[in-house]
Structure formats: structure tokens, C-alpha cells
């Protein structure tokens, strides 16, 4: 009992301090509320300013684009309008097939490699890892036409493959890779260390821990990064501009020239025929819907995955 | 190997029974800064040995030296000798993965693998070590979950994600996961500090039965817990240079009732820490 410290009764001084704290904070409360309201108003104004161009863009896209789209738009290849039939633009099936093919081949090249490099960067500390990190960060900021030039000189010219889907896919893969590497590294780094330790403490080799424990735990983050990279690749014009040569047939062959939606927009926008220029909005709308559906399904997948876990 | 063994003669009172692990002058340092030192004691087989002491006394650091978990920490160095059944775990011919299958660990916070089901969690250690035979995995899952007193509540939902379990259940799942490898020693790093009193009670009851199968070394902040569950007790304290050191090692009864060092008495009576 003697060990217990006697608690002092709070004297007048204790209460005086408490009163002063209350008085001062009351005085400041009015000012705080005013500042808070001003900040909310400013934020709303900023939001409105930022949203206006976006809303205008979407409005324009739908207004001009919806009228261009019908069944034939998806199923036929483009035709050149003539003086007799100035509105005979045909569809864009070649560009849709081309975009899907390019994205598919690029994904096959970039996703496995990018994810593995990302895991490597997150799980090891070495000179090689540091170098790779610097390279991918630099590449992520490089202008995308550079990838096109690179693919042109390497695939089309040096390897003599010619203008082809595979050259375009290569350019897009080089573009996607840094995005995938960086986001994978972040996702893997965010996996709590306690899980790695749990794996190691069970006698697992560190590469097994990376593959069986860390990678599955980081999967939602990795997939988000991959979708981001794929969405960006779908909409890119510059890298494919120099290397795919814009074919007019529906083809999945990696070695034939193909078209792509961004390229079709670029070509049509230059056309002397008003009907082809108008078609640009239809292609743009389809492209935006593509990306939208892709990112939406990724979000739904990720949130489902999260729910199962919680 | 033989030379190493003959060099070191550990003293072990006969009444304590056979020894599972022996520590001799064990010290751990990070980037040259000593975190814990002077640890010499024997861990008796099929008993519970507790490591107690205030924060910063190096209990967890010492525990993690026993399954070489410091190996991956850059700048970490373990000196002295730690023997497992007569084999030096740092210099002997025991690989680190083999050591960790023989010396299991349960962590402070329950850390089941979130992407795996209850079943997959339990057998994960076996799978990491190349065991694929379904019948063996099934048998081990049931035995381990029974040993961890979890079988009855989860046997009908083995395929459910482990994260659906409560905190206490998750910790018992982690114990089952460690037991699945049939380790000789189980290290427990404050296994109940993140749990409520009921779940803590369950784990403590479990520990008593576990000693039939394994030797337990447990770090605990909770002195009542150490007194309740452990047979032997090591008391560590932070020295003047902020490095932890072993003050006293003895039977738990002796440490709590009649310690040699006055600091031990002060700590167990709650006068500091």
C-alpha cells in the first residue's frame, strides 16, 4: 500500500489553466469556422473550373460521335468517298481489330516482363536494381514518339520485319513496361513485411515467398497498374504511327500492316472529305468507351477481390 | 562440427531435463551497435521458457536470432553460439530453411496469408518445402488445427479466406501453420499482445498442451503471463549504453519469488518498466 503514490487534489491553479484554455479556444473558434468556410468555397470553385473542360469534352464527344455509330461502323472496312458518293466512308472494323491485336501482342510482351522486373526491384537491393529503377523512371517520362522511332529503326529497319502489327506492339510494349514496373514495385513494397517474415519463418526460400505470398497479396495493385498501362497504350498514336502502316483489312497476323483507332482518327482528321472528318468523333467515342469499359471492369474486379479478403 | 561441440561446455542442471537449445554469449548488433548481449542459458526441452523485460531490453531481437530471422536485415550480426540439439545453427551444417522448419515462429500480430484459405494457410509451410501429397497435407491440416484448438470451429469452412477469422482465431491459425511443419521449438513473440483477454486465455491454455509436442520460447510483456505459463524465465534489461543484456536466468518460480539480482525483483514487483 505504501508503494502507491498519493494523487493530489486538483487545486485552484489546475482549474484556472483549464478555464484559460477554454476561453482562448472559444475566441479562436469563430475565426476557424470562417477560414474553414472560405476553404470549402475555394475548393468547390477549383473543382468547377477543372470539371468544365472535361464536361465540355464529353458533351462534344457524345454529340458528334453518337450519330456516326451504327452496325456497319463496326463491321465494315473504310472506303474512300467519291464525288458521286461523298458520304461513303465505310466502317472502322480494321482499326478496331488492329487496336485489339496491337494491345494484345503488346500486353503479352510487356505484362509478364514488367511484373517480374517490378517484383525484382521491390524485393532486392543491388546496383542492377537501382539502375533498372532509374531507367524505367526515365522511360516513363520519355515522349512516346521515341518508342515509335525505336521500333521503326530496330524492328522495321534493322531486323527487316517491315511495317507490321508486331512492330507497333513492340513500341507499345516499351511504352507500357515502365508504368507496369513502377506500379508493381510500389504494390509489392506495400505488402506488409510481417507476411514475408511469416513465409521465411516457415522455411520458405525467399523467391518462393516472393511468388507465393508477396505477389498474390500485391495483385490488386499490380492489376491496377497494368490496366493503367494498357489504357494508355490503347489510345497512343505516336508510337504506332511510324511502324504499322495502317492496313485496310481486318487482320490478326502479327507480320501484316494493321490500322489502329488512334491512327484512324489521325488519318481521317486530315481528310479533305467532310464525311471522313466527321467520322473522327465516332472513332474517338468508341476508343473512349473501350478504355472506360476496361478500367471499370478492373475496378469491379479489384473491389470484389478486396471484399473477399475483408 | 565435432570440434565446435567439444569446445563449448554448457552447464545444465540435471533436474531441468534434456536441452533443446543452448545459448552461449549470444549478442546481436545492427550496423555495429549492440542491441542485446551476454545471453547464456539453456532452453529445456518440452518446457516453456519466457523472455521478460521492459521495452528495449532486446527480448524480440534475441528471439529472432534463434531462427536466423536477422539474416535478411542489412547490417545485422549475431555473435556467440546458438545450438539446436547439438548443432550450431549459424556455423553448423544446418541450412537456414531447414533450421526454420525445425524452429517455428508465431508473431506479435496474427499474420495469416490474406490471399490464402484457412486450409492453404495451415499447409503453406509444407508446400513451401515441396510437399505436395494431398493425403499428407490433409492429415497435417487436421492434426495441426486440432493441436491449435481450432479444428472444431473451422473444419466446415476450410476453404474460406483466413482473413474472415477473428483475431484470436487468426493467431491460433498461425500457431497451427507453424505446428504443421512439426517443429521441435516454437518461438512466440508476444503472441497475445494484439488479442483480447478471452483470446489470450485460449492461447495460454493452448501453450500448456503444446509442450507435449514442442519446446516453447515466448517473449512477453505481461508478467502475470510469464508467471502463469512458463517453467523457466530469462530477465533482460537495457544497460547504460542502451544495449539489452541478460540479467538473470532461472526457473520461473525462482525469478518471481527469490531472484538473485535486486533489479529482477524490482521488475517483477512492478517497481519499474
* Contact between residue B87 and residue B4 where contact means Cβ atoms under 8 Å apart: no
**Mutate which: B98, B113, B126, B265, vs A, most A CBs within 10 A:** B113
What is the secondary structure of B102-171 as a DSSP string? HEEEE-SS----TTSBHHHHHHHHHHHTT---HHHHHHHHHHHHHHTT-HHHHGGGTTSBGGGS-HHHHH
Task: Please compute the mean of the pLDDT values over residues B98-102 and round it to a whole number.
Answer: 94
Task: Please compute the mean of the pLDDT values over residues B102-108 and round it to a whole number.
Answer: 94
Mean pLDDT of chain A: 86
Interface of B with A in 191-250 (CB under 8 A): none
Least confident piece of the model among A35-39, A151-155, B81-85: A151-155
Band of the pLDDT at B82, cuts 50, 70, 90?
A: very high
pLDDT at A11: 56
Task: Give the E-state strand segments of chain B in sequence order.
Answer: 19-30, 33-44, 48-52, 76-84, 87-88, 103-106, 185-189, 215-219, 232-238, 244-251
Q: Would you tell me which CATH number, out of the four given (2.40.50.140, 3.30.230.70, 3.40.50.300, 3.40.30.10), belongs to the domain B2-113+183-268?
A: 3.40.50.300
Interface of A with B in 107-146 (CB under 8 A): 125
Task: Quote the CA–CA distance of A150 and A267 in Å, as a whole number.
Answer: 22
pLDDT at A49: 94
User: In chain A, how many domains are there?
Assistant: 1
- Give the CB-side neighbour count of residue B27, counting CA atoms within 13 A: 13
Grid cell, residue A4, equals 502507491
Band of the pLDDT at A29, cuts 50, 70, 90?
A: confident
Burial label for A14, CB within 10 Å (0-12, 13-18, 19+), is exposed
Which residues are within 8 A (CB) of B81 and not within 5 positions of it... i.e. 6 or more apart? B4, B8, B22, B23, B24, B25, B26, B88, B90, B91
Q: A220 to chain B, minimum CA–CA distance in Å?
A: 11
* Contact between residue B211 and residue B218 where contact means Cβ atoms under 8 Å apart: no
Residue A118 lies in a domain: yes
Which CATH number goes with the domain that contains A207? 1.10.3720.10
Grid cell, residue A202, equals 516457415
User: In this predicted model, which residue has the larger pLDDT, A304 or A183?
Assistant: A183
Decide if A3 and B271 are in contact by the 8 Å CB cutoff.
yes
Q: Does residue B67 sit at the A interface (CB-CB below 8 Å)? A: yes
Q: Measuring CA to CA, which residue among B28, B20, B40 is closest to residue B250?
A: B40
For A216, name the nearest residue in chain B, comparing CA atoms only: B115
Mean pLDDT of chain B: 89
pLDDT at B26: 95
Grid cell, residue A218, equals 500485391
- Please state, for a pLDDT cut of 70, what percent of chain B lies above it: 94
pLDDT tens-digit series, residues B110-119: 999 998 999 9
Q: B259 to chain A, minimum CA–CA distance in Å?
A: 20
Burial label for A235, CB within 10 Å (0-12, 13-18, 19+), is middle
Grid cell, residue B123, equals 499447409
Kindly provide the ipTM of the predicted complex, given to two decimals.
Answer: 0.88
pLDDT at B252: 93
Task: Please compute the mean of the pLDDT values over residues A102-116 and round it to a whole number.
Answer: 93
Residue A136 lies in a domain: yes
Residue A235 lies in a domain: yes
Decide if B128 and A192 are in contact by the 8 Å CB cutoff.
no
Q: Measuring CA to CA, which residue among B252, B259, B253 is closest to residue B49?
A: B252
How many CB atoms are closer than 10 A to CB B198?
8
Q: Does residue A211 sit at the B interface (CB-CB below 8 Å)? A: no
pLDDT tens-digit series, residues A164-208: 888 888 999 999 999 999 999 999 999 999 999 999 999 999 889
Residue A109 lies in a domain: yes
Q: Is the pLDDT of residue A88 over 50?
A: yes
pLDDT at A196: 93
pLDDT tens-digit series, residues B229-264: 999 999 999 988 889 999 999 999 999 999 999 999
Q: Is the pLDDT of residue B266 over 80?
A: yes
Decide if A213 and B113 are in contact by the 8 Å CB cutoff.
yes
pLDDT at A12: 57
Q: Is the pLDDT of residue B121 over 70?
A: yes
Grid cell, residue A190, equals 506495400
Q: Does residue A216 sit at the B interface (CB-CB below 8 Å)? A: yes
User: In this predicted model, which residue has the larger pLDDT, B76 or A236?
Assistant: B76
What is the span of the domain harbouring residue A250?
93-309
**Mutate which: A203, A215, A216, vs B, most B CBs within 10 A:** A203
Task: Please compute the mean of the pLDDT values over residues A206-218 and round it to a whole number.
Answer: 90
Give the global pTM: 0.77
Amino acid at each position: 500500500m505504501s508503494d502507491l503514490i498519493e494523487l493530489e487534489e486538483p487545486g485552484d491553479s489546475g482549474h484556472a489553466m483549464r478555464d484559460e484554455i477554454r476561453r482562448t479556444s472559444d475566441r479562436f473558434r469563430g475565426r476557424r469556422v470562417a477560414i474553414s468556410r472560405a476553404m470549402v468555397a475555394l475548393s468547390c470553385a477549383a473543382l468547377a473550373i477543372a470539371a468544365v473542360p472535361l464536361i465540355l469534352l464529353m458533351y462534344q464527344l457524345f454529340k458528334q460521335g453518337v450519330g456516326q455509330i451504327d452496325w456497319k461502323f463496326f463491321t465494315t472496312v473504310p472506303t474512300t468517298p467519291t464525288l458521286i458518293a461523298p458520304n461513303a466512308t465505310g466502317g472502322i472494323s480494321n482499326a478496331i481489330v488492329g487496336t485489339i491485336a496491337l494491345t494484345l501482342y503488346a500486353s503479352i510482351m510487356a505484362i509478364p516482363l514488367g511484373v517480374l522486373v517490378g517484383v525484382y526491384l521491390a524485393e532486392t537491393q543491388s546496383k542492377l536494381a537501382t539502375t533498372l529503377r532509374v531507367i524505367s523512371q526515365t522511360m516513363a517520362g520519355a515522349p512516346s514518339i521515341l518508342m515509335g522511332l525505336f521500333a521503326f529503326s530496330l524492328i522495321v529497319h534493322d531486323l527487316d520485319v517491315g511495317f507490321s502489327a508486331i512492330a507497333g506492339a513492340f513500341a507499345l510494349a516499351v511504352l507500357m513496361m515502365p508504368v507496369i514496373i513502377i506500379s508493381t514495385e510500389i504494390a509489392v513494397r506495400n505488402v506488409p513485411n510481417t507476411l514475408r517474415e511469416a513465409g521465411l519463418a516457415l522455411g520458405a526460400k525467399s523467391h518462393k515467398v516472393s511468388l507465393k505470398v508477396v505477389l498474390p497479396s500485391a495483385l490488386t495493385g499490380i492489376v491496377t497498374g497494368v490496366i493503367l498501362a494498357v489504357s494508355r497504350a490503347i489510345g497512343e498514336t505516336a508510337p504506332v504511327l511510324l511502324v504499322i502502316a495502317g492496313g485496310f483489312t481486318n487482320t490478326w497476323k502479327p507480320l501484316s500492316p494493321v490500322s489502329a483507332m488512334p491512327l484512324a482518327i489521325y488519318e481521317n482528321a486530315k481528310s479533305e472529305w467532310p464525311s471522313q472528318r466527321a467520322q473522327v468523333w465516332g472513332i474517338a467515342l468508341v476508343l473512349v468507351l473501350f478504355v472506360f469499359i476496361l478500367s471499370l471492369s478492373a475496378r469491379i474486379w479489384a473491389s470484389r477481390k478486396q471484399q473477399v479478403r475483408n | 562440427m565435432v570440434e565446435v561441440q567439444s569446445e563449448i561446455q554448457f552447464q545444465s542442471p540435471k533436474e531441468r531435463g534434456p536441452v533443446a537449445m543452448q545459448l552461449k554469449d549470444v549478442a546481436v548488433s545492427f550496423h555495429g551497435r549492440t542491441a542485446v548481449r551476454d545471453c547464456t542459458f539453456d532452453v529445456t526441452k518440452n518446457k516453456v521458457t519466457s523472455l521478460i523485460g521492459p521495452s528495449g531490453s532486446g527480448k524480440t531481437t534475441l528471439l529472432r536470432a534463434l531462427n536466423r530471422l536477422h539474416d535478411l536485415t542489412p547490417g545485422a550480426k549475431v555473435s556467440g553460439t546458438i545450438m539446436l540439439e547439438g548443432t550450431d545453427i549459424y556455423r553448423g551444417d544446418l541450412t537456414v530453411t531447414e533450421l526454420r522448419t525445425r524452429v517455428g515462429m508465431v508473431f506479435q500480430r496474427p499474420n495469416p496469408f490474406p490471399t490464402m484459405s484457412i486450409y492453404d494457410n495451415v499447409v503453406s509451410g509444407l508446400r513451401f518445402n515441396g510437399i505436395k501429397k494431398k493425403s499428407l497435407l490433409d492429415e497435417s491440416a487436421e492434426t495441426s488445427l486440432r493441436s491449435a484448438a481450432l479444428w472444431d470451429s473451422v473444419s466446415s469452412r476450410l476453404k474460406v479466406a483466413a482473413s474472415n477469422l477473428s483475431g484470436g482465431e487468426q493467431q491460433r491459425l498461425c500457431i497451427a501453420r507453424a505446428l504443421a511443419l512439426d517443429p521441435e521449438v516454437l518461438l512466440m513473440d508476444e503472441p497475445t499482445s494484439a488479442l483480447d483477454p478471452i483470446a489470450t486465455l485460449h492461447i495460454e491454455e493452448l501453450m500448456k498442451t503444446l509442450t507435449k509436442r514442442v519446446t516453447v520460447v515466448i517473449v512477453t510483456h505481461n508478467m502475470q503471463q510469464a508467471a502463469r505459463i512458463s517453467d523457466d524465465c530469462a530477465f533482460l534489461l537495457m544497460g547504460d549504453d542502451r544495449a539489452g543484456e541478460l540479467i538473470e536466468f532461472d526457473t520461473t518460480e525462482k525469478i518471481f519469488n527469490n531472484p538473485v539480482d535486486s533489479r529482477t525483483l524490482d521488475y517483477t514487483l512492478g517497481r519499474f518498466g
